[in-house]
Amino acid sequence: LPLVSVNQILLLLLVLTVCAILYNKVHQVPLALRSETVDLESPEEMEEEIPVVICAAAGRMGAAVAAISSIYSNTEASVLFYIVGLKTTIPHIRKWIENSKLKEIKFKVVEFNPMVLKGKIRQDASRPELLQPLNFVRFYLPLLIQKHEKVIYLDDDVIVQGNIQELYDTKLAPGHAAAFSDDCDLPSTHEMVRSVGMQNTYMGFLDYRKQAIRDLGISPSTCSFNPGVIVANMTEWKHQRITKQLEKWMQRNVEENLYSSTLGGGVATSPMLIVFHGKYSSINPMWHIRHLGWSPDARYSEQFLQEAKLLHWNGRYKPWDYPSVHTDLWENWFIPDPSGKFKLTRPDS
């Protein structure tokens, strides 16, 4: 063979050998790395996923399950559920989801460490349930959610009847870290508020006899908002150090007893009312119909409830307990506990 063609053959063999080595290198990437590369999403794809944070507390896990079930059933959007629990309760909620029709959902279980609250909560004998550590998860959203710009937080005692995409699309004004529902927004809820004597102004949450509260310069008749449904902007939240501000007002309450806990929603609502005063956007009122748990017999009209996008049983009377109102709407979405630990309380049970 002429020398030139031998060189060409050798060169070709060399190129083929290099190609074979490179091919093997690419295809022998460890499995863990390969699955991670599959998970890398472009920013556009990430935004399409709606992150929803819900807490799963001991004794009321059925609430979280019903809320998740209602959201999942009423939307076409891709929802990623962040289910937050304490170390002791996480195995129970995971098992419930994996052994029911909810096994199709996309979810991450996040453990909340109650040690972050050490020294920041004042004991309240009148409503001990309001001091549960998971009540304060909403203060720490950026610690729990890493990769999302916009997040929905929901209390566990809600049912979603609309498409959660609508709530996610809530517009936040520039400089606002969160959107809430005003407590003075819907005429139909005013009747309910009056009939059960519920508070819907700052007076019901803050103790205006205290100098620190008067120094805020907020009128006691200012309309309050309900932090059981939040659409939050994580960039603004971190930029404004919202978590630090909330912790400051928790700390001050421990030292100075600033909140009127007997009337309002207690210790988790009051710091938010202070920190977000005049600095939040509004959620469409139909996306937060509340006070369903304030009285065992004050009811909304059925037609109004059918039109509502989200129902919230805030108050003492929960739909998994007895007595409570409009329990049929809640039970539509409840999925029984496969382990049998969580049971509904009903008059005949």
Dump the DSSP string for 134-173. Answer: GGGGGGGHHHH--S-SEEEEE-SSEEE-S-HHHHHTPPPP
Q: Note whether 50 and 322 are within 8 A (CB).
A: no
Per-residue pLDDT tens over the stretch 308-327: 999 999 988 999 999 999 99
Note the pLDDT of residue 55.
Answer: 97
- In the three-class reduction of DSSP (H, G, I as helix; E, B as strand; rest coil), residue 285 is classed as helix
Residue 213 in this model has a pLDDT that exceeds 60: yes
Which position has the higher pLDDT, 140 or 297? Answer: 140
Note the pLDDT of residue 188.
Answer: 62
Percent of the chain with pLDDT over 90: 68
How far is CA 137 from each of CA 110, 236, 306, rounded to the nearest angstrom?
11, 18, 30
Find, among 284, 282, 256, 260, the residue nearest to 270 by Cα.
260
Tokens standing for 139? 């203060």
Domains of the chain: 50-186+197-332 (3.90.550.10)
Q: Which of 2-11, 29-38, 52-61, 63-72 shows the lowest mean pLDDT across its residues?
A: 29-38
Residue 1 in this model has a pLDDT that exceeds 60: no
Note the pLDDT of residue 259.
Answer: 87
Instruction: Report the 10 Å Cβ neighbour count for 40.
Output: 8
User: Could you please report the per-residue DSSP string of 7-65?
Assistant: HHHHHHHHHHHHHHHHHHHHHT--HHHHHHHHH---HHHHHHEEEEEEE--TT-HHHHH
User: Strand 310-312 and strand 158-160: pairing?
Assistant: antiparallel
Give 267's pLDDT tier (boundaries 50, 70, 90). Answer: confident
Note the pLDDT of residue 122.
Answer: 75
- Mean pLDDT over all residues of the chain? 86
Note the pLDDT of residue 45.
Answer: 45
Dist. CA 149–CA 139, nearest whole Å: 16
Note the pLDDT of residue 277.
Answer: 98
Which position has the higher pLDDT, 193 or 227? Answer: 227
Note the pLDDT of residue 22.
Answer: 61
Residue 186 in this model has a pLDDT that exceeds 90: no
Per-residue pLDDT tens over the stretch 110-123: 999 999 999 898 77
Residue 256 in this model has a pLDDT that exceeds 90: yes
**333: phi then psi, degrees, rounded to nearest 5:** -110, -5
Dist. CA 218–CA 276, nearest whole Å: 12
How far is CA 347 from each of CA 90, 205, 320, rounded to the nearest angstrom?
30, 34, 11
Give 173's pLDDT tier (boundaries 50, 70, 90). Answer: very high
Residue 295 in this model has a pLDDT that exceeds 70: yes
Give 176's pLDDT tier (boundaries 50, 70, 90). Answer: very high
Give 31's pLDDT tier (boundaries 50, 70, 90). Answer: very low
Find, among 158, 160, 166, 170, the residue nearest to 309 by Cα.
160
Per-residue pLDDT tens over the stretch 129-166: 666 899 999 999 999 988 999 999 999 999 999 999 99
> Helices 90-98 & 61-73, crossing angle to 10 degrees?
40
- In the three-class reduction of DSSP (H, G, I as helix; E, B as strand; rest coil), residue 274 is classed as helix
Q: What is the mean pLDDT of residues 225-233?
A: 97
Note the pLDDT of residue 46.
Answer: 47
Note the pLDDT of residue 298.
Answer: 81
